[in-house]
Chains A and B, each alone.
Chain A
Amino acid sequence: MKTSVSKAIGQALHEEMERDKNVILLGEDVGVMGNVFGITRGFRDEFGADRVIDTPISESGFTGIAVGAAMRGLRPVVEWMYDDFITVCLDPVMNQAAKLRYMTGGQITIPVVFRAPIGAGRRNAGQHSQCLEALFTHIPGLKVVCPASAADAKGLLKAAIRDNDPVVFLEHKLLYAKQEEIPDGEYVIPLGKADIKRPGTDVTILTWSRQVYFALEAAQTLAAEGISAEVVDLRTLVPLDWETVRASVCKTHNVVVVEEGVKRGGVGAELSAQITEDLFDELDSPVCRVAGKNVVSPFSPVLEDAEFPHPAEIVAGVKKTLGR
């Protein structure tokens, strides 16, 4: 059955709330309005106002409250309206949720999920368009999930809610409306498993979130020119499915990492470093990064489209890597 990514996310939340009474939702406009993208429409009537909590615009406070509730055994799913808003609530995420298990010697578990839309392309300018996954992967104690497909968004969110660690779950806004087939019935996709979206032999393209679709488009273009690209959707950045990465690199010996977020200090930089450190002898060429420019997301559509990678840049990156 075809379902949009946003509906798939809604299904995951709904199924987990039905399954486990400890799952509660909180965030701005998640209740009466049912989320700005309509993901939780009707939930408040069905599950009650004490489980679907409309918060004031107090990200630091309600994120901290969710972490405290998780310390006491609830499984809160927090929604930030945009991931850009992490700037006003980083303490409960970075210094509390991420660290308390370790700092208490394992006495406390924090089963909380932080959901947030990411990404450019909606002409919302610099404070509503960022891809901040690199910020989160830098923090020990957080797991970071960035689904691309509707099926993955559902299965991974269910796994994230059941996970006993804090999980940052980043959803690309421009994928919400995408209609895709998802499996019937109950299913969970474990965190930390990449998915080979398209097998290939000449080059490995490592990517996640919306860039998966651009990479697949690029792979099709490249195929017409006789280049066989393997597109690996990492799906989860922490924990990383190193086995799949390694196997693909050892097969193709060429790597292009594609991300929408800014290049400097990005996840691509980290992947490039790990591959270079561990698999140097396997490489026929330097790891190539195709990523967002180190700029603020501009408002003008013309400028914004010039800021983050599109299929043409991925094609160019692959050709450069292969010397073609």
Chain B
Amino acid sequence: MKKEQESCDAKWYLEAYERMVRIRQFETKAADCFTKSELAGNIHLYMGEEASGVGTCMALRDTDFITSTHRGHGHCIAKGAHTDKMMAELFGKETGYCHGRGGSMHIVDASIGILGANGIVAGGIALAAGSALASKYKGEDAVTVAFFGDGATNQGVFHETVNMAATWKLPVIFLVENNHYGVSTEIHRITNTDTLAVRAKAYNIPGVTVDGTDVEAVFHAVTEAVERARGGEGPTIVETLVYRYQGHYCGDPAAYRPKEYLEEGKKNDPIDKARAQLLKLGVKEPEIDAIDRRMEEEIEAAYQYAKNSPDPDPNAVIDNVYSSDNERSVLR
């Protein structure tokens, strides 16, 4: 890191802690619903990786943008998405963010800069750079963060996009969450570098690797990348080292991983770490416990909202394929 940043205070940590617990509770509830067959399809859970999304989004303004991945619930919550509309989307309900058209892998809230989770690995990276190009072209100082996983860094479009963004000095941050597994494949079996951030060298931009279980460390790294992007100096690759507590999808027993992986992850739990830091900063236990309870209540309310919301109208299945000439374009 080039310059020292001030340590984060209790107020900051309370906010970060709350967002991380909101994510953990949301994911726990979603997993529960999925296991009970209340949810259709598939969900990919963010438990264990909370500090990465929250540390990143704490460094952003409301007017900044993100793109996300199939494992996107945490990014959306970190950026400020409402858990009731998110849960309703997981339930495929009309009241969900995308009116049940997208589901778990496609949460979008354009009004707060969430340009979308994405079902295609690396699918959001170029979109993020395009958003950054639009910001630069319009003379706006917003930055865009592309969240993606270690698996995405071996897609061609990652390299194509980083090269263009670096050359054109686009205000974008490439935030790679390295949980070490693309579905079942351990990253070092398929990649010839120790870190993923080292690839930044090939594009002549900064690349940093940080402990993704330490929300403050992520915040500082991203803050520096954001300042650089906003200042017109171009992109940075920030690699956060994280643990994916669950398998690739909810229900995947993850038998391909050594048991030490999860043990180590639990020892480095990002929420436990933040709680310890809060106590160190003088926040009393009951105040922290109150956050846990409040989040639990919020997520329970989100669940009730989702469960009791109406399904979409089957007659509206063709709506919104196109913005104009929809009927004719769909039916012919």
Contact = CB atoms under 8 A, between A and B. Distances in A.
**Most central of B110, B134, B161 by chain A CB within 10 Å:** B134
A104 B323 contact: no
Interface string B138-164: 100000000000000000110011011
A164 B98 contact: no
Given A56-B163, A105-B320, A72 B130 contact: yes
A104 B134 contact: no
A136 interface: no
A22 B116 CA distance: 22
Contact of B325 (A63, A64, A71, A191): A191
Contacts of A65: 126-127, 129-130, 133, 161, 164
Given A96-B123, A240-B332, A64 B129 contact: yes
B29 to A, nearest CB: 22
Contact of B323 (A60, A105, A165): A165
Contact of B126 (A61, A106, A107): A61
Contacts of A191: 325
A102 B163 contact: no
Contacts of B120: 91, 95-96
B97 interface: yes
A55 B164 contact: yes
Contacts of B161: 58, 61, 64-65
B45 to A, nearest CB: 21
B101 interface: yes
A104 B106 contact: yes
Interface string B311-322: 000000001111
Nearest to B162: A61
**Most central of A50, A62, A92, A239 by chain B CB within 10 Å:** A239
B329 to A, nearest CB: 4
A58 B332 CA distance: 34
**Most central of A58, A91, A105 by chain B CB within 10 Å:** A105
Contact of A71 (B100, B127, B167, B319): B127
B131 interface: yes
Interface in A63-105: 63-74, 76, 91-92, 95-96, 100-105
A74 B106 contact: no
A106 to B, nearest CB: 4
Interface in B66-107: 67, 96-102, 106
A242 interface: yes
Given A60-B157, A96-B127, A141-B321, 20 more contacts: A50-B136, A60-B160, A61-B126, A64-B126, A64-B127, A65-B133, A68-B129, A69-B130, A71-B127, A72-B131, A72-B134, A96-B123, A104-B97, A104-B116, A105-B99, A107-B109, A140-B330, A165-B323, A192-B328, A239-B325
A115 interface: no
A25 to B, nearest CB: 12
A13 B157 CA distance: 28
B115 A69 contact: no
Interface string A221-249: 00000000000000000111010000000
A100 to B, nearest CB: 7
B127 A163 contact: no
Contacts of A163: 324
Nearest to A88: B156
User: Interface size class for chain A?
Assistant: 35 or more
A191 B98 CA distance: 28
A208 to B, nearest CB: 15
A274 interface: yes
Interface string A295-312: 000000000000000000
Contacts, number: 170
A69 B135 CA distance: 8
A71 B116 CA distance: 10
A72 B135 CA distance: 8
**Most central of B101, B118, B131, B332 by chain A CB within 10 Å:** B332
A108 interface: yes
B270 to A, nearest CB: 29
Contacts of A72: 65, 130-131, 134-135, 138
A91 B160 CA distance: 14
B332 A242 contact: yes
B317 to A, nearest CB: 10
A68 B325 contact: no
Given A91-B123, A104-B102, A242-B328, A64 B137 contact: no
Contact of B115 (A68, A95, A240, A242): A68
Given A92-B126, A101-B320, A64 B157 contact: yes
A140 B322 CA distance: 9
A95 B130 contact: no
B229 interface: no
B108 interface: yes
A71 B101 contact: no
B128 interface: yes
Contacts of B129: 61, 64-65, 68
A90 to B, nearest CB: 11
B247 interface: no
A143 interface: yes
A61 B160 contact: yes
B322 A165 contact: yes
A24 interface: yes
Contacts of A71: 115, 127, 130-131, 134
B119 interface: yes
A274 B332 contact: yes
Given A55-B164, A61-B126, A64-B126, A101 B322 contact: yes
B197 interface: no
A204 interface: no
Contacts of B135: 72
